């Protein structure tokens, strides 16, 4: 073999190695393929069980099963479960762990938490607040054995081990050939966190040699816990946090599923005010998340499921750590779990509290909630706290409100002069000249139509922020005020059972009294405001009707929402009416007009904006004149 041939073989070998390296799958593709294989294996097992079940029922009755010999039973269990056969039979028992905050029960069948109750709270019907019980929730480890059997730990029986640690229990799954899987639960005192460790040993040779992760399936049916199914369903969703990154959520309004290849720190199944969260000490990977609506059930809202995995080694004794959070979605409480953590390692569980869009969250986090927390130390009535909050907001906005009123007052006292300009330019084709003359008048007098608009818009971000916060603020939950029994939901004064087309979808089957009063007061305020702000300028057609339509639209928006929100809006509007009336009687409009007349005598320097506006008006007027001349020649 000559040198050229050897060189050729070497080059071909390098090309093959380079091609293999270039086309190797990424980590994300490997995780996705592993997840798909695991899901396929689980689905194949389910299909096999569904296919075999009718045959077993047809050939073996319960009596005939009881007559089978022990050796035949053991043979059947070994064929189905392999090394896990000894754990396929046992006795189901519930082991209770509880502290001052929560009570949880661990089932020896499956070894998982199948009951969680939050002690400090009750449901709307005053029943104990149970997040889930029995088949409502399930936690599985999914194993593929060395001989390709798919095993679910939820089908197996664990043994409760004697544990000297206080408020702790170890559930042990004994596997043939010396293998052990321990589920260790430890409940901290006076906390909503439950530590959960999975400890394994001796599984090498029992599980498939390719096993490098523990595949997990966690599900929960979300119970109805509050009054107002539509509002509760709107804020019930599946949340998850990427490792050292943002929190995402979905599933509030429709069936959905997501497959995430990036690593995830925690997965949360959240009701309106409460959540079950599974937090990994390391991270989850290759995660499939599913949300399904449950519209035909009165007891349940949605069904959530997560199929995911955590790193695992067969060759050594391994401990995989988790934490469960079973508790309320209270901002300050959830925020406290990040204390002492390094930057980038925060859990950000406070993101479970909906506060609106990113630009709205600071209003709630740094303004509304601190006021709530401060006033809550001294006042027990949250209806009164909302009233004081409204006063604080209106006080902060008072300078802008006054500026807005003064802008309207300036234009109102100039109305007779605007009317004179209308007489000077009465023709329709003179509209441009009229507009220029009016703007010139305002500029000379020191009045600006735009200066009153911004102050009127400032309260809107606060109202929108409260629209998100109040329905999910656990501080308002089951807090009564006047006739409202729960400020976090609607206060029905009239209710009916039959659905009315269109009306029921938007309004619900009730009328909320606070919302009705808010709407009436807003209609009155609209009328007062329109009569007081008539500046003589030409109105856009239909604008008056639009102004009256807005309060009616708010009625449909707020009728199924928080009565505390309607109470805030009602008080805010009443205070605004009071301020407007005080301004009207304290501001001397004759002196104001005299001041504006003095302003006319002073030299005015036009702003760049006004200059550009006048230039644009002149250009438009010139084009209109040329067009009219062209039409005259024809």
| Tokens matching residue 12 | 């071909």
> What Å distances lie between residue 298 and 115, 233, 254, 370, CA to CA?
20, 12, 17, 37
Q: Are 438 and 430 in contact (CB under 8 A)?
A: no
CA neighbor of 289 nearest in space, from 222, 350, 352, 217: 217
Does residue 62 surpass a pLDDT of 50?
A: no
Q: Which residue has the higher pLDDT, 51 or 91?
A: 91
Helix (H/G/I), strand (E/B), else coil: 28: helix
Does residue 12 surpass a pLDDT of 70?
A: no
Report which DSSP code applies to 603: -
Please provide the average confidence, as pLDDT, over all residues in the chain: 81
d(CA 580, CA 474): 35
Q: Which residue has the higher pLDDT, 31 or 70?
A: 70
Per-residue pLDDT, 52: 38
Does residue 59 surpass a pLDDT of 50?
A: no
Does residue 63 surpass a pLDDT of 50?
A: no
Per-residue pLDDT, 344: 80
Does residue 556 surpass a pLDDT of 60?
A: yes
Residue with tokens 């401060």: 374
pLDDT digits (tens, 9 = 90+) for 276-317: 999 999 999 999 999 999 988 889 999 999 999 999 888 778
- For the chain, the first-to-last Cα distance in angstroms comes to 98
Residue with tokens 């073999």: 1
Cβ partners under 8 Å of residue 83, min gap 6: 145, 175, 176, 177, 179, 206
pLDDT bracket for residue 544 (50, 70, 90): low
pLDDT bracket for residue 563 (50, 70, 90): very high
CA neighbor of 350 nearest in space, from 421, 268, 234, 425: 268
Least trusted range by pLDDT, from 99-108, 275-284, 514-523, 598-607: 598-607
| Tokens matching residue 116 | 């969680």
d(CA 267, CA 261): 14
| Tokens matching residue 446 | 């020191």
* Residues paired with residue 132 on neighbouring β-strands, in sequence order: 116
Report which DSSP code applies to 537: P
Report which DSSP code applies to 384: H
CA neighbor of 449 nearest in space, from 424, 412, 477, 494: 412
* Residues paired with residue 279 on neighbouring β-strands, in sequence order: 266, 323
> What Å distances lie between residue 44 and 54, 292, 360, 415, 463, CA to CA?
17, 22, 47, 80, 52
| Tokens matching residue 454 | 């911004």
d(CA 390, CA 442): 34
Q: Are 201 and 317 in contact (CB under 8 A)?
A: yes
Per-residue pLDDT, 415: 77
Does residue 45 surpass a pLDDT of 50?
A: no
Residues in the chain: 634
Does residue 121 surpass a pLDDT of 60?
A: yes
Q: What percent of the chain has pLDDT over 70?
A: 77
- Give helix 543-558 / helix 513-532 axis angle, nearest 10°: 160
Per-residue pLDDT, 252: 84
pTM here is 0.78
pLDDT digits (tens, 9 = 90+) for 344-392: 889 999 999 988 888 888 999 889 999 988 998 899 999 999 999 999 9
Per-residue pLDDT, 16: 55
pLDDT digits (tens, 9 = 90+) for 470-485: 998 999 999 999 999 9
CA neighbor of 31 nearest in space, from 214, 278, 246, 287: 287
Q: Are 276 and 329 in contact (CB under 8 A)?
A: no
CA 24 to chain centroid: 39
CA neighbor of 245 nearest in space, from 134, 347, 321: 347
Per-residue pLDDT, 53: 38
What number of other Cβ atoms are within 10 A of residue 364's Cβ? 23
Does residue 178 surpass a pLDDT of 90?
A: no
Q: Which residue has the higher pLDDT, 391 or 204?
A: 391
pLDDT digits (tens, 9 = 90+) for 209-219: 888 889 999 99
Per-residue pLDDT, 406: 80
Per-residue pLDDT, 60: 36
Does residue 44 surpass a pLDDT of 70?
A: no
């Amino acid at each position: 073999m000559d040198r050229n041939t050897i060189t050729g073989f070497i080059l071909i070998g390098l090309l093959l190695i380079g091609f293999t390296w270039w086309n190797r799958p990424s980590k994300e593709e490997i995780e996705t393929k592993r997840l798909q294989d695991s899901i396929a294996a689980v689905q194949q097992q389910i299909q096999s069980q569904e296919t075999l079940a009718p045959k077993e029922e047809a050939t073996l009755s319960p009596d005939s099963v009881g007559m089978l010999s022990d050796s035949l039973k053991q043979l059947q269990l070994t064929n189905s479960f392999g090394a896990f056969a000894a754990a396929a039979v046992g006795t189901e028992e519930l082991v209770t762990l509880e502290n001052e905050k929560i009570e949880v029960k661990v089932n020896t069948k499956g070894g998982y938490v199948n009951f969680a109750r939050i002690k400090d709270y009750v449901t709307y019907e005053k029943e104990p607040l149970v997040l889930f019980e029995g088949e409502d929730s399930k936690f599985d480890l999914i194993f593929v054995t060395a001989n390709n059997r798919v095993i679910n730990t939820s089908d197996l029986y664990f043994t409760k081990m004697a544990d000297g640690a206080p408020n702790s229990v170890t559930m042990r799954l004994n596997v043939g050939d010396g293998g052990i899987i321990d589920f260790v639960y430890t409940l901290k005192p006076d906390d909503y966190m439950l530590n959960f460790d999975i400890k394994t040993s001796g599984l090498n040779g029992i599980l498939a040699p390719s096993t490098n992760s523990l595949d997990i399936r966690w599900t929960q049916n979300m119970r109805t816990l509050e009054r107002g199914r539509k509002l509760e369903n709107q804020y019930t969703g599946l949340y998850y946090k990427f490792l050292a990154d943002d929190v995402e959520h979905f599933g509030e309004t429709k069936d959905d599923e997501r497959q995430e290849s990036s690593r995830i720190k925690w997965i949360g199944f959240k009701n309106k005010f409460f959540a079950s969260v599974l937090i990994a000490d390391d991270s989850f990977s290759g995660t499939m998340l599913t949300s399904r609506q449950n519209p035909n059930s009165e007891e349940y809202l949605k069904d959530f499921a997560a199929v995911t995995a955590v790193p695992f080694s067969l060759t050594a004794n391994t401990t995989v750590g988790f934490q469960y959070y079973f508790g309320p979605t209270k901002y300050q409480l959830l925020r406290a779990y990040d204390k002492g953590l390094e930057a980038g390692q925060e859990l950000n569980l406070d993101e479970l509290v909906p506060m609106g869009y990113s630009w709205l969250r600071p209003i709630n986090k740094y303004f509304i909630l601190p006021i709530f927390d401060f006033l809550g130390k001294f006042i027990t009535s949250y209806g009164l706290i909302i009233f004081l909050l409204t006063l604080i907001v209106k006080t902060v906005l008072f300078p802008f409100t006054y500026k807005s009123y003064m802008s309207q007052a300036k234009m109102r006292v100039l109305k007779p002069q605007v009317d004179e300009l209308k007489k000077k330019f009465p023709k329709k084709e003179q509209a441009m000249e009229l507009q220029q003359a009016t703007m010139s008048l305002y500029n000379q007098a020191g009045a600006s139509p735009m200066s009153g608009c911004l102050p009127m818009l400032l309260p809107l971000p606060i109202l929108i922020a409260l629209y998100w916060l109040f329905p999910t603020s656990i501080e308002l939950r089951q807090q009564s005020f006047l006739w409202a029994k729960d400020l976090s939901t609607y206060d029905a004064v009239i209710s009916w059972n039959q659905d009315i087309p269109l009306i029921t979808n938007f309004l619900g089957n009730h009328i909320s009294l606070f919302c009705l009063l808010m709407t009436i007061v807003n209609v009155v305020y609209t009328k007062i405001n329109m009569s007081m702000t008539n500046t003589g300028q030409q109105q856009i057609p239909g604008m008056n009707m639009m102004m009256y339509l807005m309060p009616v639209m708010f009625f449909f928006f707020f009728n199924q929402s928080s009565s505390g929100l309607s109470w805030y809006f009602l008080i805010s509007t009443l205070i605004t009416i009071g301020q407007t009336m005080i301004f009207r009687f304290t501001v001397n409009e004759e002196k104001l007009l005299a001041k504006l007349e003095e302003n006319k005598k002073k030299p005015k320097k036009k702003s760049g904006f006004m200059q550009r506006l006048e230039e644009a008006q002149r250009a438009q007027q010139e084009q209109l004149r040329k067009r009219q001349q062209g039409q005259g020649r024809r």
